[in-house]
């Protein structure tokens, strides 16, 4: 065709040694930050990756011995079916789309709160930047909430810093605290079992993790004698200067008594330690003989000797409690007795990451500034809140009771938070098989549980546990009818697993296990 023009290009032949080649990567496993490689986060680790794969296989029609994967590995209330609190979502919706303020279907107290929050935002819009520590009005509301919670003990809004959930605040404080090299490296005391955020953050920051063990035989009690043992042992190779407390406990569900908190504060004062109090489950207390006491309140009630000297950072979040708004990523920390010069450094540090999402800040405000008696929304709000908390209390009791009625399992009372951490007996042959496959024994159990029942829990080895003991963590959040099914399946599987590995091993199996162990 005359319209078709063909152009042929000839290139000189290139010598073999001048062929284009791909250069080595700048960033490789060998060259990357070694601290990052040491980070592990069991809650979203390999077992969860396998759960996701199984979900995809089910969607593709692959036959499994179960019809769905039930993830009870994480405390995600709304993913488990918990309904949002109506008032919280109404205020959030009004702030997101202010034209709804004209809608007569929204209660007047929700509109009033939304107008107040919008007026505190740049341009009356939550789409505007906020100050790095958070919107001033919301910091003031958080301070008033803490004062009400703690019986009138003063709280300065300048010591309140809003955060992306509690996680970002915890990591930020650790960044300020960690320093030194060799024997001067910062040591951080954390409870075992612990929430893996702490071990992961310490690994990334190249700090020294100092384990103190909670007493399982005493319902996961914290013993100051154990704190002192851990501290003295750590002083031989690092400089311990931080003590982390999780109350109510995650994954262990214990609620610390006031006497225990007083003892911990005295210990921190005596040993000159910075206290970090993770109190995100403060609304989740179920045991009739348990009560939440904030470290800030107890500290000030112990008198000026302590309240003028002990440095404390406490943390709270909208992800837990009866709220369960994990996706909004809202939280705060309060600082007590921090050096003013260091607090200025903190402001500089959080400025680098700008500020927490304004949507999360707004949700935090309505959580700390709830409807009061006489408000149009109070009755519905109160009903929804009590329904969630009373149901959680029933689930906590059911979970404890079911596991304690299962031969070979034991579960301490779930006094608070939203998890059970039962101990299980595993036959020696199962332990041997796990080690032959390069797995922790409880990981081996949990993977088998997932593959055969579709239930996803987290092995206790991901949280830390005493040598020779085996646990797993599961949340109590699923709807009651689904939780009953989960508990029944876990109990039945444990019985089946125990029977399977308690039978005598035949000759061929023994050879295979021996070969795996030798690889």
CATH number at residue 445: 3.90.1150.10
Answer yes or no: is 486 within a domain.
yes
**∠ CA 338-340-344 to the nearest 5 degrees?**
105
Q: How far apart are CA 147 and CA 279, in angstroms?
A: 16
First to last CA, the chain: 68
For residue 447, the enclosing domain spans 41-71+382-502
**What's the DSSP call for residue 67?**
S
- 299 and 350 share one domain: yes
- Backbone φ and ψ of 380, nearest 5°: -65, -45
- 207 and 257 share one domain: yes
Answer yes or no: is 132 within a domain.
yes
Answer yes or no: is 334 within a domain.
yes
- 417 and 472 share one domain: yes
Q: How many CB atoms lie within 10 A of CB 163?
A: 29
Which residues of the chain carry a pLDDT beneath 70?
1-20, 41-44, 354, 505-519
Q: What is the pLDDT of residue 352?
A: 85
H or E element in which residue 49 lies: helix 46-59
Q: What is the pLDDT of residue 108?
A: 97
- For residues 227-242, one letter each, b for 16 or more C-beta atoms within 10 angstroms of the residue's C-beta and e for the rest, the string is beebbeebeeebebbb
Q: How far apart are CA 343 and CA 132, in angstroms?
A: 13
Among 325, 340, 368, the domain boundary falls at 368
- 232 and 335 share one domain: yes
Answer yes or no: is 14 within a domain.
no
- Using CA atoms, how far residue 13 sits from 6, 17, 19, 31, in Å, is 22, 12, 10, 37
Token look-up 């709804």 returns: 100
Residues, the chain, total? 519
- 268 and 402 share one domain: no
CATH number, position 234: 3.40.640.10
Among 368, 391, 420, the domain boundary falls at 368
Whether 238 and 187 have beta carbons less than 8 Å apart is answered as yes
Beta bridge partners of 160: 334
How confident is the model over 398-449, as pLDDT tens digits?
999 999 999 999 999 999 999 999 999 999 999 999 999 999 999 999 999 9
- 161 and 61 share one domain: no
- 392 and 467 share one domain: yes
- 348 and 423 share one domain: no
- 327 and 462 share one domain: no
Contacting residues for 312 by C-beta, under 8 A, at least 6 apart: 274, 275, 276, 277, 295, 296, 299, 335, 336, 337
Can you read off the two tokens belonging to residue 421? 């951490």
- 393 and 422 share one domain: yes
Answer yes or no: is 462 within a domain.
yes
Q: What is the pLDDT of residue 142?
A: 98
Can you read off the two tokens belonging to residue 511? 């050879």
- 364 and 398 share one domain: no
- Backbone φ and ψ of 353, nearest 5°: -95, 15
Q: How far apart are CA 362 and CA 88, in angstroms?
A: 9
- For residues 492-507, one letter each, b for 16 or more C-beta atoms within 10 angstroms of the residue's C-beta and e for the rest, the string is ebbeebbeebeeeeee
Answer yes or no: is 258 within a domain.
yes
Q: What is the pLDDT of residue 59?
A: 94
- Using CA atoms, how far residue 203 sits from 87, 200, 352, 372, 415, in Å, is 40, 5, 22, 44, 30
List the one residue out of 438, 469, 489 whose CA is nearest residue 46: 438
- Using CA atoms, how far residue 105 sits from 95, 100, 109, 110, in Å, is 15, 9, 12, 11
- Using CA atoms, how far residue 467 sits from 36, 47, 159, 213, in Å, is 26, 21, 41, 11
Query: Beta strand pairing status for 458-459 and 186-192?
Result: unpaired
- 459 and 393 share one domain: yes
Can you read off the two tokens belonging to residue 430? 């199962």
Answer yes or no: is 492 within a domain.
yes
Q: What is the pLDDT of residue 223?
A: 95
Answer yes or no: is 4 within a domain.
no
Can you read off the two tokens belonging to residue 497? 């697993």
Among 301, 336, 368, the domain boundary falls at 368
Q: What is the number of domains present in the chain? A: 2
């Amino acid at each position: 065709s005359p319209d078709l023009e063909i152009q042929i290009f000839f290139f000189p032949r290139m010598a073999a040694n001048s062929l284009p080649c791909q250069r080595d990567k700048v960033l490789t496993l060998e060259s990357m930050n070694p601290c990052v490689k040491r980070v592990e986060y069991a809650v979203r680790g390999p077992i969860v990756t396998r759960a996701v794969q199984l979900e995809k296989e089910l969607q593709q029609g692959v036959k499994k011995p179960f019809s769905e994967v039930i993830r009870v590995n994480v405390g995600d209330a709304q993913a488990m079916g918990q309904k949002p609190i109506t008032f919280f979502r109404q205020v959030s919706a009004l702030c997101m789309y202010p034209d709804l303020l004209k809608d007569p279907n929204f209660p007047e107290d929700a509109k009033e709160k939304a107008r107040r929050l919008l007026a505190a935002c740049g341009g009356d819009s939550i789409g505007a930047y906020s100050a790095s520590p958070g919107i001033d009005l919301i910091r003031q509301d958080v301070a008033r909430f803490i004062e009400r919670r703690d019986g009138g003990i003063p709280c300065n809004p300048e010591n309140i810093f809003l955060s992306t959930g509690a996680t970002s605040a915890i990591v930020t404080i650790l960044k300020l605290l960690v320093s030194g090299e060799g024997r001067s490296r910062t040591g951080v005391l954390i409870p075992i079992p612990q929430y893996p955020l702490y071990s992961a953050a310490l690994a990334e920051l190249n700090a020294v993790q100092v384990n103190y063990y909670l007493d399982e035989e005493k319902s996961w009690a914290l013993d100051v004698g154990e704190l002192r043992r851990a501290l003295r042992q750590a002083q031989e190779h690092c400089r311990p200067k931080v003590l982390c407390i999780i109350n109510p406990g995650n994954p262990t569900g214990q609620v610390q008594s006031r006497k225990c908190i007083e003892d911990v504060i005295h210990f921190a004062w005596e040993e000159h330690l910075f206290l970090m109090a993770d109190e995100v489950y403060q609304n989740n207390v179920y045991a009739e003989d348990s009560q939440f006491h904030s470290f800030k309140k107890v500290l000030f009630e112990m008198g000026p000797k302590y309240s003028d000297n002990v440095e404390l950072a406490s943390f709270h979040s909208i992800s837990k409690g009866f709220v369960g708004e994990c996706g909004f990523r809202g939280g705060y920390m309060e600082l007590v007795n921090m050096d003013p010069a260091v607090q200025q450094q903190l402001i500089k540090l959080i400025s680098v990451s700008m500020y927490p999402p304004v949507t999360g800040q707004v949700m935090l405000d309505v959580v700390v500034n709830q409807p009061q008696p006489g408000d149009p929304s109070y009755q519905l709000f109160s009903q929804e809140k009590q329904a969630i908390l009373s149901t959680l209390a029933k689930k906590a009791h059911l979970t404890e009771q079911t596991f304690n009625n299962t031969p070979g399992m034991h579960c301490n009372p779930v006094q608070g938070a939203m998890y059970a951490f039962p101990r299980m007996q595993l036959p020696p042959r199962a332990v041997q098989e796990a080690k032959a496959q390069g797995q922790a024994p409880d990981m081996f159990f949990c993977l088998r549980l997932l593959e055969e029942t579709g239930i996803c829990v987290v092995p206790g080895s991901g949280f830390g546990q005493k040598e020779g003991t085996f646990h797993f963590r599961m949340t109590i959040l699923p709807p009651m009818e689904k939780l009953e099914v989960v508990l029944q399946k876990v109990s039945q599987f444990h019985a089946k697993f125990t029977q399977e590995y308690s039978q005598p091993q035949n000759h061929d199996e023994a050879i295979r296990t021996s070969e795996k162990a030798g690889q």
